[in-house]
Structure 1
Amino acid sequence: MNSVIIPICVVTIFAFWVAVAANYGKAQRLEGWAVGNRNFGTILVFILMGGELYTTFTFLGGSSLAYNNGGVCYYILCYSPIAYILGYWLAPAIWKYAKEHNLVSQADFFIHKYNSRMLGMVVSVIGFLSLIPYLILQIKGLGIIVSETSYGLISANTAIWICSLVMVIYVMISGMHGSVRVAVVKDILILATVFFLGIYLPIHYFGGIESMINTLESTKPTFTIVSSTDFNPVWFVSTVLLSAIGLYMWPHGFTSLYTAKSSRVLKRNAIVMPLYQFLLMFVFIIGFVAVLKLPGLDKSQSDLVLLKLVKQTFNPWVVGIIGAAGVLTALVPGSIILLSLATLLVKNILSPFTSLSTKREFLLVRFSVPIIMLIALAAYSYGGQTIVSLLIVGYGLVSQLFPAIIFSFSKRNLINKYGAIVGMLSGTIFMLISILTPIDINHILPSSLNGMNNGIIALIINVIVMFTVSVIFKNRSVLR
């Protein structure tokens, strides 16, 4: 079994070396550590955003969703192109404002736009709440990948602790430069792995993709369409809308936007990013192959579909290479999330209550990275949700920032800081209640709206409250 462990260890060590070497011997400031001195070109921004968006969810969650729910998985193909159309106009506007005001975090944007540190703190807390599930997603996926592809020789918990330590050290040392270097390695490996599996597995078992689809249709005739049960068309459309709105709202997404050297880079990026959707099609094909070759897996094992199929098909050394590629799908987004969380925590939550110098603030940001990782590890130990569920929860929370951002670019902003604060809090509180309690608001909705994603309902509450409070507190100046 050494042939399994060696590729995983070699790739992890190589990724660590690449990340640390990215900034070795260079003097650093917070701007360079957090946003790469704003000098990344089209290719690096493309790789960086691909690294943060196409993660362990792509590697495990996509095939799991295809295996369990069939046609429902197509929602992932739908929302990203819509988000990139929005991003073509929105991302350059955010970048220009951030460049002009020297911003390094998402909360900085809101503080300057609405002239309110209180709003910045609210945004930071929402960002923290939304990113912790996303970081847990990477941790959970990492443990699954290493444990399964090592045939249990490395336990999930051991893998998580070792790789978390690797991630923490290279983020503290190299920041964004380290993440983008590892993202280059990750993209090469993961693209090669997923394309290979998506093409080889249908040919190996069925003679081709068309033959596999025909077999699936004859075996489970309605499997590849959106059902009328739990994940009905209302859920599908509302989840596509929520995810499209939320894609650019992630705090680490803002950080990646800030790294671009010009607004033109971000426009080009929005044009080429949909190419990554081809990757997802092959992930779904893997899930459909598993439906036929691994029938009967219960939902507790749904995140293991891709890995179980790989282990059934290939020799251990091939499994090890695939596992190594999977490790990088957790390390890259996990490192960017850690970086963003550390910046939010210190710069926008703690700093308003202190009088730290720029140098001390930067030092505190770096040393908060291991603390944040420990929080995520503690939260992971209590969580039992699937990878897909964790991602949708995060989107529901982070999308609450969208209305205030959109209105902030209007010539005459109808929303003030009071409306933005109370609106965001209302939507977020509703989302947290829907997550933490068994309350189901769909019972009071018209039957035609049954299945509505709670994130959309939270967003509607957010907007109504935002406008109402803005009108009530028009021309007042209390909160700073």
Structure 2
Amino acid sequence: MKNDVNGVSLAVFLVFFLGVTVLGFLAARWRRADNALHLDEWGLGGRSFGTWVTWFLLGGDLYTAYTFVAVPAAIYGAGAAGFFAVPYTIIAYPLVFLFLPRLWSVSHKHGYVTSSDFIRGRYGSRALSVAIALTGILATMPYIALQLVGIQAVLDVMGIGGGSSTNWFVKDLPLLIAFGVLAAYTYSSGLRAPALIAFVKDALIYIVIAVAIIYIPYRLGGFDDIFNHAQSAYAATNPATGKPRGSLVTAPQAQWAYATLALGSAMALFLYPHSVTAVLSSRSRNVIRRNTTILPLYSLMLGLLAMLGFMAVADGVGKGIKGYNAQLAIPQLFENLFPSWFAGVAFAAIGIGALVPAAIMSIAAANLFTRNIYKDLIRPQATPAEETKVSKLASLVVKVGALVFVLTMDKTVAINFQLLGGIWILQTVPTIVGGLFTRWFHRWALLAGWAAGMGYGTWKAYQQTSPTQAHFGGNSDMIPWIGEKGYIGLTAFVLNLVVAVGLTLLLNALKAPSGADETVRADYVAEAAEPVGAGAPGTEPGLPPVPAPA
């Protein structure tokens, strides 16, 4: 990282950054509702977004600093292993095509704002609902932290703040600035702010990647030279591990880790609270169906962005610098090879690409706290206006929690932030996805399975070390009975599912109370023409809960 500041790139960056900040505040007037003090309005944008707004919102929601900084940094640091992020986005969309429209329909019918609202209604279990809500909040914090790391990486490369400073305030000043801006416009405008800014963010990203994939190979002598340089660099020994730095092709001993990371990440992607929030903000189930068919266009962009990791290696970014922070590699590549003015555009794309998802994530986590902890456990009589005010304040607290992750964990392998959240959010799969298709699982069994998966996953993640991190330094561990390293989150999910199935068989045999199901078959295919919150209060008297058809 340079110590001097490039005035041109900084000026361009500030123009875009300030522009989207103003846009974030103005978004409060966009599609303004008669009653803004309602969680449907602040937290879900009035449930009114059509295909294109939802597409940009979901794209801004799912393709984050993880995509623009962490994935290319993982490839820069280790090679082909980082490409697990490309197949997992391809696997995810056929999966979510099956269950997202059902989640939208039942939520629309009953006025659910969060996935935990659905859990409470489906299983009649406040404890299970709260457990899923707490999991969502916990998993979101490191994901927001990853966005702040992305912003800090850009500002560090531009010479602002100084990641190498010994003064804690100066060192973390970029985080504080990002926190302040993000907190202010999220509090003011709710989900409408990131929805509007997502148009700018995606346009900038597509422009930058289109230029980068042509211009940078031209500057570096073509893809043949890029891969040759990368292969030589990965073959060199890493002093910290005594092993080769990486490889262009996934080694046989890493294939289980690669496959389980891809599958586990695909299963978790649309269960994060921010993904659910973006889905529930759309105005019809057909909008969700259309989006699951056109969102794979972003996977093409992800593949091209991942290639930047090889280009950074070929350019010699960080070469010879002991303990170089890989998260700086892509911003530094742009700084080295782009004209100053276009480097500023690229920096703005990364910075805005981190702000948009961070805003949605904080709103989604706040909705979970308000609906499923504050209202369910503390103040059941809370009015819609009170819910909205509490959610606004909770969105600020969530960001503080994200700052704790940033300030206490290793930022040189930021992809672990997202993968740690994935370990936790995977433990909601049996409850949420299972509940959308069947009522066979017993609520107590699901709660026990969730506890087992969360306990095992957190314990194993805590045990992982790295050269720079004593705990939470990795995401893979030996898979029991297989003897190969794999993603901890998927192993914990299997344990969760085994416990849930086994206990369900036992509890059903003992005829333990299964809880009231307020949903019926038709709720899972309800269309937009039916008013929000018009669902039946429960199943017909005297009849057992009816499993929803697949």
Is the alpha carbon distance of 1:153 and 1:381 closer, same or farther for their aligned partners in structure 2, counting shifts above 3 Å? Answer: closer
- Provide TM-score, normalisation by structure 1: 0.93
Instruction: Give the drift of 1:466.
Output: 0.8
What corresponds to 2:457 in structure 1?
431
Residues 39-60 of structure 1: CA deviation (Å, up to 9, x unaligned): 1111111111110111111111
Residues 23-43 of structure 1: CA deviation (Å, up to 9, x unaligned): 237541110111112111111
What corresponds to 2:219 in structure 1?
204
Q: Is the 8 A contact 1:143 1:156 kept in 2?
A: no
User: Partners in 2 of 1:327 and 1:311 — Cα distance?
Assistant: 14
Is the alpha carbon distance of 1:218 and 1:108 closer, same or farther for their aligned partners in structure 2, counting shifts above 3 Å? Answer: same
Instruction: Give the drift of 1:153.
Output: 7.1
| 1:252-291 equivalences in 2 (<5 Å) | 252-291=274-313
Residues 270-291 of structure 1: CA deviation (Å, up to 9, x unaligned): 1111111121222222211122
Picking from 507, 512, 516, the partner of 1:476 is 512
Same amino acid, percent of matched pairs: 23
Picking from 269, 294, 300, the partner of 1:247 is 269
Residues 362-414 of structure 1: CA deviation (Å, up to 9, x unaligned): 21111222222222213321111422111111111101111222321335x32
User: Partners in 1 of 2:321 and 2:123 — Cα distance?
Assistant: 51
Q: Is the 8 A contact 1:144 1:156 kept in 2?
A: no
Instruction: Give the drift of 1:438.
Output: 4.6
Picking from 416, 437, 445, the partner of 2:442 is 416
| 1:125-144 equivalences in 2 (<5 Å) | 125-144=134-153
Picking from 409, 417, 424, the partner of 1:390 is 417
What corresponds to 1:320 in structure 2?
344
Aligned to 1:473, what secondary structure does the other structure show? Answer: helix
| 1:87-126 equivalences in 2 (<5 Å) | 87-126=96-135
Which of structures 1 and 2 has the bigger CA Rg? 2
Picking from 397, 406, 422, the partner of 2:433 is 406
Q: Is the 8 A contact 1:234 1:449 kept in 2?
A: no
Deviates more, 1:45-54 or 1:294-303: 294-303
Aligned to 2:28, what secondary structure does the other structure show? Answer: coil
Aligned to 2:78, what secondary structure does the other structure show? Answer: helix
Instruction: Give the drift of 1:15.
Output: 0.9
Q: Does 1:167 align with 2:172?
A: no
Deviates more, 1:262-271 or 1:6-15: 6-15
What corresponds to 1:74 in structure 2?
83
- Provide TM-score, normalisation by structure 2: 0.81
What corresponds to 2:59 in structure 1?
50
What corresponds to 1:293 in structure 2?
315
Aligned to 1:452, what secondary structure does the other structure show? Answer: strand
Q: Is the 8 A contact 1:195 1:279 kept in 2?
A: no
What corresponds to 1:452 in structure 2?
486
What corresponds to 2:383 in structure 1?
357
Deviates more, 1:152-161 or 1:454-463: 152-161
User: Partners in 2 of 1:220 and 1:380 — Cα distance?
Assistant: 28
User: Partners in 1 of 2:233 and 2:9 — Cα distance?
Assistant: 35
Q: Is the 8 A contact 2:461 2:488 kept in 1?
A: no
Aligned to 2:270, what secondary structure does the other structure show? Answer: coil
Q: Is the 8 A contact 1:133 1:393 kept in 2?
A: yes
Deviates more, 1:348-357 or 1:458-467: 348-357
Residues 267-313 of structure 1: CA deviation (Å, up to 9, x unaligned): 11111111111212222222111222214566651111112222222
Instruction: Give the drift of 1:150.
Output: 4.0
Q: Is the 8 A contact 1:23 1:177 kept in 2?
A: yes
Q: Does 1:2 align with 2:38?
A: no
Aligned to 2:325, what secondary structure does the other structure show? Answer: helix
Q: Is the 8 A contact 2:81 2:250 kept in 1?
A: yes
Q: Is the 8 A contact 2:107 2:280 kept in 1?
A: yes
What corresponds to 1:181 in structure 2?
196
User: Partners in 1 of 2:69 and 2:127 — Cα distance?
Assistant: 38
Is the alpha carbon distance of 1:348 and 1:153 closer, same or farther for their aligned partners in structure 2, counting shifts above 3 Å? Answer: same
Q: Is the 8 A contact 1:342 1:365 kept in 2?
A: yes
Q: Is the 8 A contact 1:107 1:121 kept in 2?
A: yes
Instruction: Give the drift of 1:452.
Output: 1.5
Q: Does 1:60 align with 2:60?
A: no
